[in-house]
Amino acid sequence: MATYDFVFSGLGLKDWCNKDGTGSAGPVSMADLMAQSGGKEIPSPSLWDLPFPSMDALHEACAAFPKSRVLTKGLEQGFLEIKDNLSLVLDPLTQPLSWALSGTLSLFQETPWWLMIPLLLAVVMLVSRSVKLVGFVALSFALLSFINYYDYAIQTLAVIFVCAFLCVLVGVPIGIAMSRSDALQRTAIPVLDMLQTLPPFVYLIPLIFLFSVTEPKLYGIAIILYAIVPVVRLTDLGIRLVDKDVIEAADAFGMTNRQKLYKVEIPLALPNIMAGVNQTIMMSLAMVVIASLVSAPGLGVLVLRGIRNLELGVGLVSGLGIVLLAVILDRTTKLALARINAAQRD
């Protein structure tokens, strides 16, 4: 006797309910097992305890009515069915990402430290023009290397380097296209919102089904999907915010659309685009840690080890390493941004 019996008897569906036998068909969920083993008595129904007419509650009243697990199961099944076809298309399409990641990883790792660290310092100097920051980077790397975390840190950097680069490469054109077409902007914004609000773990689920966990592209895609959002958004915004008067001047002097894009719109939107790049890099860093769950190398692996093996020290120190990298990446891009802003302050 279940709460919603009356619905089915009222609708005259009793026969349909009992058609395929009694008892709970379909997959058994953890909650069912618990309830069974507990062997609880059914309490007398009071209005206070009225369950929501959910799938499970209705199933209790009518065996033929599907449980909610059937729904999720169906999703799984469906996904598994299209999976093969999907991988057939996606696999070759995303293969270059695997190559780029493993290539860059081995390049970064095989370059000896006494070449790699000065190279990094030179890049930081070039981008930020700040001796103070270069000093900070040198100190941070000396510290990380001294405690034997150099390899992990450089792996993390390599992954971020590839992913952030690809985010910019793909994201800026998408942003430009969005700024040109209101229709595209209207469709793209909900997708971007979804990408940004989905918890990072959720990305990993369908990706694990699609690709094998050992492939670098698995975490590459996860990182790119998560981190591409700000650069797309801010490119779109930046180009839409370009002073209408300046655009008009460009038209009045006979610029072609291409000239307008390269000589006016992108340079004037650059502060916004760079703010997007900064956020994209920071989000790649956040994701590369989470993606260590699916075999992304780097400091995240150590954090994971800290959690799994309860090695508190390892977890804390690698966490500190991540903070150092975050500060370095953030400062470097922010200083570059500040320089651009200073050059075209109105």
Partner 1 sequence: MERETKIAICNLYKIFGPDPNTALEAVKEDGLNKSDLMAQTGHVLGLEDINIDIKAGEITVVMGLSGSGKSTLIRHINRLIEPTAGKIIFGDHNLIECGQQMLRRIRREEMSMVFQKFALLPHKTVVENAALALEIRGFSDKEYIPEARKWLDRVGLQGFEESHPHQLSGGMQQRVGIARALTSNAGVMLMDEAFSALDPLIRTDMQDLLLELQEELHKTIVFITHDLDEALKLADHLVILKDGKVIQQAEPQTVLLEPNDPYIIDFISDINRVRVLRVRTVMEDIPEGTKVSCCGEVDHDDNLESVIAMSGGDTHKTYLVKDGSKEVGILHMAKLLKSLVPIEAPDEGIRCSGG
Q: What is the contact surface with partner 1 in residues (CB under 8 A)?
A: 243, 245-246, 248-249, 251-256, 259, 263-264, 267-268, 270, 343-346
Residue 20 or 245: the one with the smaller Cβ distance to partner 1 is: 245
> Does residue 324 contact residue 331 with C-beta atoms inside 8 Å?
no
Work out how close the CB of 249 gets to partner 1 at its nearest, in angstroms, rounded to a whole number: 4
CB of 20 to partner 1, least distance (A): 60
Q: Which is nearer to partner 1, 308 or 345 (CB)?
A: 345
Closer by beta carbon to partner 1, 143 or else 247: 247
The least CB distance from residue 258 to partner 1, in Å, is: 11
Closest distance to partner 1 from the beta carbon of 136 (Å): 29
CB atoms within 10 A of CB 268: 19
Instruction: Write down the residue that tokens 């150590």 correspond to.
Output: 302
Between 212 and 256, whose beta carbon lies closer to partner 1? 256
What's the closest the beta carbon of residue 25 comes to partner 1, in angstroms?
A: 60
Contact yes or no for 142/314 (Cβ under 8 A) = no
CA dihedral of residues 48, 50, 54, 60 (deg, nearest 10):
140
Q: Are 4 and 53 in contact (CB under 8 A)?
A: yes
Q: Which residue lies nearer to partner 1 by CB, 252 or 310?
A: 252
Of the candidates 101, 103, 113, 215, which has an alpha carbon nearest to the alpha carbon of residue 164? 101
Nearest residue (CB) to partner 1, 246 versus 316: 246
**Coil, helix or strand at residue 97:** helix
Q: What one-character-per-residue DSSP string does 183-241 give?
A: HHHHHHHHHHHHHHHS-HHHHHHHHHHHS-TT-HHHHHHHHHHHHHHHHHHHHHHHHHT
Compute the least distance from the CB of residue 334 to partner 1, in Å: 19
